Structure 1
Amino acid sequence: MTVAPDIWTIASATDAARARTATARLTADAGLPLVERTRFLTALTEKLRWCLDQRGAWDLLVRMHRADADGHGRLEVGVRPAGHPQDRRPDWQLSITCPERGHADAAGPADADSAGMADALLAADEDTAELLDRLDTQDDLVRSYREELHQTNQGVLALHAELEAAALTQHNLLDAERAARAQAENARSLLTFLADASDAVTASLHHEDILRRLPELLVPHYAGHVDVWLFDDDPTTRHGHRPAAAVAAARTGRTQHAAARPACLPGVDDLPPSALAPTRPLLCVPLSGPRVMGVLTLTARGSRFDPDEAVMLIELARRTGIALANARRYEQHRDTAEALQRAQLTELPTTPDLLLAARYLPATRGLNIGGDWYDAFLQPDGSLLAAVGDVTGHGLRAAVMMGQLRTALRAYAIESDSPAGILTRLHRMLRHQQHELYATAVIARFRPGDPTVAWAAAGHPPGLVRHPDGTVHVLETKPGIMLGVPLPYEYQDHTVALPPGSTLALYTDGLVERRAQGIDPGIDRLGHALAALSTAELEHDLDTAAESLLKPMLHDSERDDDVCLLLCRTAPHATHNGPRHPRHQAARPGRSLVPFQ
């Protein structure tokens, strides 16, 4: 419910003090809380001072609203110039809600006498004291909260410091892990390259191949230039036009590093820059086998050698030195065996009734000296013995055994002209004298005027006969066991018709055997190649015919074994002093091959 306001005139400081005192009594009687009452009175006092500063008379409007439905009343004060119409709104207005328990009636400032003003002043001091107590309490709380906040901030700062330290530690650990992974990957890459490069340099037994592969492996990934100095290849200029570091490496057997800055590598001597390459570091590594055979000089790609790569290069040079030493030994062994083998190859005899041509080719891979051999010689009775053999294994031992077999065959041929008898004696000799060494052989005997040939084989590939009409068949009569097998054995002679103009081909397994195909397809290929030779070629130049026979047999692959071929061709118009055997009556064991088309 709205009531009419009380109007108090303010014309002096005394009027203002009385109005302030009366208002303070109203707010106290209305039960306003101390803090809200103080704020209300402070705002009113500030406005009253303003009115006094403006001079003149002012009306203070005080209106107390009764309690509403919620039980709350409201106190309103307003200020306007005195003498204005009563319906004019105040220039300044302030209101405050009174609590339910508060109830007061407005009283004019005239009621505030001197005693009342004194009481109001004392009451104001009490309010001030109570406010100060409350402020002290609040200050204590604020101080306590500030201390707690400070402690919390200190804890947060400490936590942040710990988190930052932990983050830094984790970052350092991650960096260390990345660096370790990079080092491990680099080490793995270097070890992989070292293994592959080692396989490449040790795969060949020819030192020229090894020297050719080194620059291909190292340039440009690990070196800008590669130079290999082998002492045996250039004995007259051992120290000429070589870097001083290379000469020092040759003299001391230690790796030398020549650059403006030392590399500080383990086991490596640091020298000043080379006069031959003053702007590029050099790494000179001895190539050592049983002795220092040479020096590998590497020029850096950039301003220095990477330490890990340098260690890998030194190890690769060590392995290269071993590979070169093995290649040297192999080449010496091969040259000795080849010289021995070729010294024992027979110069073929010449007879009016029989033409001979032979070819021997060493293997193209591995230790290319084996025990393949051929021989042909005349007997006192005018007959001719032709033989082809193959000693198992390769190298000097096989070549020596081949020579012994050839010598023994000629010696046994004096006692017996039967191919089977000769093979039986050879088998007995090998079985008793050469343990764990075996051989295959085939021997054919040609008698003047006899249109047949007697032959015997010991574990050897079958011979092929080309007849004058171009047909070819294989002598597939079961051969005897290999020579030297620890079993007693008697070989048997066989005969085959060989009329004038016929060709007998004896060979070793290196001509027809391939790992991926076996021996039978190779024998068929040889038969077709033999059938494809022209009669004119066989009659006029048997050596050329032998070359023509080898070409289609050997062009398709490298040879793991030696190749030996012996062609025996009866003269087309040979005279026959012995009994003639019609071709259709002659024994021709084996399978036939159609003429080559």
Structure 2
Amino acid sequence: MTAASEKWTIASAADAARARALLARLLADAGVPAFDRARFLAGLGARLRHGLGAGGADLAVTAGPGGRLRAALGGPEPWEDTLVCPLPVTVPRPGPGGAPLAEALLDADADTDAVLARLTETEELLRFHREELHQTNQGVLALHAELEAAALAQRDLLDAERAARAEAENARRLLTFLANASAVLNASLDHEDILRRLPELLVPEYARHVDIWLVDDERTPPGERAAATVTAARTGRPQHAGPHPGELPGVDDLPASALSPDRPLLCLPLGARTVQGVLTLAAPGDRFDPDTTVMLLELARRAGIALDNARQYEQHRDVAEALQRAQLTDLPATRGLDLAARYLPATHGLNIGGDWYDAFPQPDGSVLAVIGDVTGHGLRAAVIMGQLRTALRAYAVEGNGPARILTLLHRMLRHQQPELYATCAIARFTPGEPKVVWAAAGHPPAIARGPGGEVRVLEARPGIMLGVPVPFTYEEHTVELPAGSTLALYTDGLVERRSAGIDAGIDRLAEAMGALGAADLVDLDAAADALLKPMLHDSEHDDDICLLLCRTTLD
């Protein structure tokens, strides 16, 4: 379609109004929506008023193909706008003077009404979106509040978890220390050693310094001790003395001590059944921690048990040692026979066992050399050993030989001490006779060394151990033992080691006896020491050791 164009001169407000009315009717006929018409016409009106203010202008209206309507305003500030119309546009030939203004005014109100309706719809839509946005904002605020609450709850949970882990780690540390400290204290049976180790364990982590007062220690009278220490010893209750109450679990609070007015003291009774003393600790800092205090209370209890055990052990040991010393009498000086003996207690345990040796003359002038070993250690073993030694001497006084003595001892032990056993070897030397008569009850074999240095093990099978619950009669054996010979009687502690069997130890003892020279045997005590040295190698041993050397002479 060929474009149609008209140009109108706008010289007055009436010209501008008529031109606007004409274009309004043109746009309405072309099917332009009221809102678009109003926007277009409003823009045109503003430019026309501006053009009139500048002295007038020419308005060119062009209808092009595709329903395009172009309006252009000349003048100092030209303006142009193009609108696409739904229907074909025909530019009217008459000028703007032919447009009825009244009708145009009514049409303008209609356009304005359409615009206002559109604005009302827009406002309603805006109100709806504003409400929707408000609801959305409220939801977002609620979500933020929930997220913040969840974050706070998570932070609280993390803090609680950290606190729980810290408490668990502290509890683990305290329990580990308690276990290790208990092992150290219980490893010793020397109460002085226990008293020395306690401060080493506690200072400086758990106490600035430590004082231990034993109630039977008269070196420091109670008047020179802290009042809380004396109260703990008198009442058996743990005491806390400080400038402020400690409020510790299981502990009574007292005023600050005059001996330590600025630093709290914790006084813990020591003892299993009775209070043996008080452990007084000065706080490592400003106060004692409650959890640490619970651990210290338990440590004091265990230390008291360790001290009680150590004292009982020491009393038991002293009694057993006294009994042991009473049984190991001096060896007799006899014609034609030199004697030497050694007794070494075990380096572990109670150190007192049932090993013993003895030598004594019989009514007929012969000499009995005896060595024995009661099973077990401690006071009971020492008591049974004393009973056996006394009974053996009594049977020997009646003129019985080695075999008969062992038979009588076996019968006595089997009936009077069931489930307790012993080994024993007895050798009888008769002056002037180059032989020895011996009998053994489950004991390691004696070793004989001849005058020329030849060594032999008396391997005749021994009888059963004394006390085994079966009847038994022991046999005697006779061995040639010319003057200058040496017979070694010993207990299994000399030859038996955990790392090797007893047979290997017997072989070592035989080699050691063969290595002795004739000059070494002149002093039998020195010979006994020379035999022990290669057998022990200055090492620790788990069992008692007895060695009895018997050397025959020419009178």
**Same fold flag (TM > 0.5):** yes
Equivalent residue runs for 1:32-111 within 5 Å: 32-54=32-54, 56-67=55-66, 73-81=67-75, 91-99=78-86, 101-111=87-97
Distance 1:473 1:416 in 2: 29
Q: Among residues 528, 531, 536, which one is paired with 1:554 in the alignment? A: 536
Distance 2:533 2:225 in 1: 47
For 1:36, give the aligned amino acid. Answer: D
Equivalent residue runs for 1:477-556 within 5 Å: 477-539=460-522, 541-555=523-537
How far is the alpha carbon of 1:108 from its aligned partner?
4.8
| Partner in structure 1 of residue 112 of structure 2 | 128
How far is the alpha carbon of 1:203 from its aligned partner?
2.6
How far is the alpha carbon of 1:183 from its aligned partner?
1.7
Q: Among residues 311, 323, 347, which one is paired with 1:364 in the alignment? A: 347
| Partner in structure 1 of residue 313 of structure 2 | 330
Distance 1:487 1:410 in 2: 24
Deviations 1:471-508 (A, max 9, x none): 43322221111111111111111122322332211111
For the residue of structure 2 that corresponds to 1:81, the secondary structure is coil
How far is the alpha carbon of 1:107 from its aligned partner?
4.5
Contact 1:15 1:109 in 2 (8 A): no
Segment drifting more, 489-498 vs 223-232 = 223-232
| Partner in structure 2 of residue 384 of structure 1 | 367
- Judging changes above 3 Å, is the alpha-carbon distance between structure 1 residues 555 and 45 closer, same or farther for their aligned structure 2 residues? farther
For 1:199, give the aligned amino acid. Answer: A
| Partner in structure 2 of residue 176 of structure 1 | 160
| Partner in structure 1 of residue 208 of structure 2 | 224
Q: Among residues 144, 165, 173, which one is paired with 2:149 in the alignment? A: 165
For the residue of structure 2 that corresponds to 1:276, the secondary structure is coil
| Partner in structure 1 of residue 197 of structure 2 | 213
Deviations 1:394-428 (A, max 9, x none): 22221111111111111111223421111111111
Q: Among residues 429, 446, 465, which one is paired with 2:412 in the alignment? A: 429
| Partner in structure 2 of residue 265 of structure 1 | 248
Deviations 1:242-301 (A, max 9, x none): 333222211221111223332211221223333434443321101022211011122332
For 1:248, give the aligned amino acid. Answer: T
For the residue of structure 1 that corresponds to 2:437, the secondary structure is strand
For the residue of structure 2 that corresponds to 1:292, the secondary structure is coil
Distance 1:194 1:555 in 2: 38
Deviations 1:485-538 (A, max 9, x none): 111111111122322332211111122222332322222232233333343232
Distance 2:473 2:399 in 1: 14
Segment drifting more, 459-468 vs 444-453 = 459-468
Deviations 1:309-334 (A, max 9, x none): 11011111001101111111111111
Deviations 1:108-128 (A, max 9, x none): 543444xx1111111111111
Distance 1:417 1:146 in 2: 128
- Judging changes above 3 Å, is the alpha-carbon distance between structure 1 residues 520 and 109 closer, same or farther for their aligned structure 2 residues? farther
- Judging changes above 3 Å, is the alpha-carbon distance between structure 1 residues 20 and 503 closer, same or farther for their aligned structure 2 residues? same
Distance 1:182 1:249 in 2: 32
How far is the alpha carbon of 1:439 from its aligned partner?
1.0
For the residue of structure 1 that corresponds to 2:199, the secondary structure is helix
Contact 2:453 2:514 in 1 (8 A): yes
Matched, 1:148 2:132: yes
Identity of aligned residues (%): 67
For the residue of structure 1 that corresponds to 2:222, the secondary structure is coil
Equivalent residue runs for 1:238-277 within 5 Å: 238-239=221-222, 241-277=224-260
- Judging changes above 3 Å, is the alpha-carbon distance between structure 1 residues 111 and 347 closer, same or farther for their aligned structure 2 residues? same
Segment drifting more, 443-452 vs 141-150 = 141-150
Contact 1:190 1:312 in 2 (8 A): yes
- Judging changes above 3 Å, is the alpha-carbon distance between structure 1 residues 528 and 42 closer, same or farther for their aligned structure 2 residues? farther
Distance 1:125 1:377 in 2: 154
Segment drifting more, 459-468 vs 119-128 = 459-468
For 1:162, give the aligned amino acid. Answer: E
- Judging changes above 3 Å, is the alpha-carbon distance between structure 1 residues 529 and 257 closer, same or farther for their aligned structure 2 residues? farther
Contact 1:32 1:102 in 2 (8 A): no
How far is the alpha carbon of 1:430 from its aligned partner?
1.2
How far is the alpha carbon of 1:342 from its aligned partner?
0.4
Distance 1:230 1:536 in 2: 56
What residue ranges of structure 1 are gaps of 5+ in the alignment? 68-72, 83-89, 576-597
For the residue of structure 1 that corresponds to 2:134, the secondary structure is helix
For 1:34, give the aligned amino acid. Answer: A
- Judging changes above 3 Å, is the alpha-carbon distance between structure 1 residues 222 and 516 closer, same or farther for their aligned structure 2 residues? farther
- Judging changes above 3 Å, is the alpha-carbon distance between structure 1 residues 33 and 110 closer, same or farther for their aligned structure 2 residues? closer
Contact 2:6 2:60 in 1 (8 A): yes
For the residue of structure 1 that corresponds to 2:276, the secondary structure is strand
For 1:536, give the aligned amino acid. Answer: A
Q: Among residues 521, 525, 549, which one is paired with 1:567 in the alignment? A: 549
Distance 1:126 1:307 in 2: 90
Matched, 1:340 2:339: no
How far is the alpha carbon of 1:368 from its aligned partner?
1.9
Contact 1:340 1:399 in 2 (8 A): yes
How far is the alpha carbon of 1:240 from its aligned partner?
5.1
Deviations 1:371-394 (A, max 9, x none): 111100112322111001111122
For the residue of structure 2 that corresponds to 1:359, the secondary structure is strand
- Judging changes above 3 Å, is the alpha-carbon distance between structure 1 residues 498 and 65 closer, same or farther for their aligned structure 2 residues? same
Contact 2:35 2:114 in 1 (8 A): no
Distance 2:503 2:16 in 1: 140
Contact 1:62 1:106 in 2 (8 A): no
Deviations 1:123-170 (A, max 9, x none): 111111122122222222222232222223222222222222122222
Distance 1:400 1:193 in 2: 41
Q: Among residues 279, 288, 291, which one is paired with 1:296 in the alignment? A: 279
- Judging changes above 3 Å, is the alpha-carbon distance between structure 1 residues 353 and 239 closer, same or farther for their aligned structure 2 residues? same
Contact 2:182 2:303 in 1 (8 A): yes
- Judging changes above 3 Å, is the alpha-carbon distance between structure 1 residues 167 and 47 closer, same or farther for their aligned structure 2 residues? same
- Judging changes above 3 Å, is the alpha-carbon distance between structure 1 residues 59 and 147 closer, same or farther for their aligned structure 2 residues? same
For 1:74, give the aligned amino acid. Answer: R
- Judging changes above 3 Å, is the alpha-carbon distance between structure 1 residues 434 and 259 closer, same or farther for their aligned structure 2 residues? same
For 2:332, give the aligned amino acid. Answer: P
